[in-house]
């Protein structure tokens, strides 16, 4: 079984993923967590020191590296039907980050088209693997998200302003084209509101949703 836990930064994905892992392991299941793939790029320093010049090349390099790592993982576990794989974000979500205003800054329409063509070609290859059984998007109001991020006080998140997080939020929850991709490349898609729930209650709701459909 493959489960994707998705949503904007600060919504509680990683905590929910770890809670799910603990739950299924207590049930005697073997669980593999596929966290957000960290990628090294030789363009990393150039990307931040001269954003407008190296933006496109760095983004394309990130995309290729994440794609290769994703394929490697999928091939490794494709015949292990007894394993539960839980994704903390999925490769197909890369499109959302490539669309952000900050990332697209200074990028021409021609380069945008080139990126989309490469991405779509990769999606065709991803479609050869079995789709995730569940694509679960956690959501909360924007103000709640910002409060959660302020409480956890991560230095890397402070580097971006409120406008950046609003842009990311919009592309996760309001842009239909992105939701359509999530639906297309999964067997079951659902959004779960977490505004007034503890993380334990969020986990319980995810488990209930999955249990009723397997």
Contact yes or no for 136/4 (Cβ under 8 A):
yes
Q: 137 φ, ψ to 5°?
A: -100, 115
Q: Is 203 annotated as a binding residue?
A: no
Q: Is 11 annotated as a binding residue?
A: yes
Q: Is 121 annotated as a binding residue?
A: no
Q: Is 194 annotated as a binding residue?
A: no
Q: Is 9 annotated as a binding residue?
A: yes
Q: Is 10 annotated as a binding residue?
A: yes
User: Which residues, other chains included, contact 182 with Cβ-Cβ below 8 Å and sequence gap of 6+?
Assistant: 6, 92, 135, 137, 189
The residue annotated as part of the active site, out of 88, 124, 133, 195, is 88
Torsion-angle region of 10 (φ positive above 0: left; ψ -120 to 50: alpha; else: beta): left
Contact yes or no for 178/90 (Cβ under 8 A):
no
Q: Which helix (H) or strand (E) holds 134?
A: strand 134-139
Active site residue 88: yes
Q: Is 202 annotated as a binding residue?
A: no
What are the binding residues? 7-15, 148-152
What are the binding residues for ATP? 7-15, 148-152
Residues involved in catalysis: 88
């Amino acid at each position: 079984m493959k489960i994707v836990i998705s949503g904007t930064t600060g919504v509680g994905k990683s905590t929910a993923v770890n809670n799910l892992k603990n739950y299924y392991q207590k049930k005697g299941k073997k669980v593999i967590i596929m966290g957000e793939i960290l990628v090294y790029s030789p363009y990393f320093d150039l990307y931040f020191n001269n954003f407008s010049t190296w933006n496109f090349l760095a983004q394309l390099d990130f995309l290729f590296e994440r794609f290769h790592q994703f394929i490697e993982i999928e091939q490794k576990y494709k015949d292990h039907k007894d394993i539960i794989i839980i994704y903390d974000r999925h490769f197909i979500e890369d499109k959302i980050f490539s669309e952000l205003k900050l990332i697209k800054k200074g990028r021409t329409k021609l380069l945008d088209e080139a990126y989309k063509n490469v991405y779509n070609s990769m999606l065709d290859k991803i479609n050869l693997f079995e789709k995730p059984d569940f694509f679960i998007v956690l959501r909360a109001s924007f103000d709640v998200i910002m409060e959660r991020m302020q409480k956890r006080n991560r230095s890397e998140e402070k580097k971006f302003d409120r406008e950046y997080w609003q842009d990311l939020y919009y592309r996760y929850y309001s842009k239909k084209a992105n939701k359509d991709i999530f639906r297309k490349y999964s067997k079951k898609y659902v959004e779960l509101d977490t505004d007034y729930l503890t993380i334990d209650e969020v986990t319980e709701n995810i488990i209930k949703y999955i249990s009723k459909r397997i």
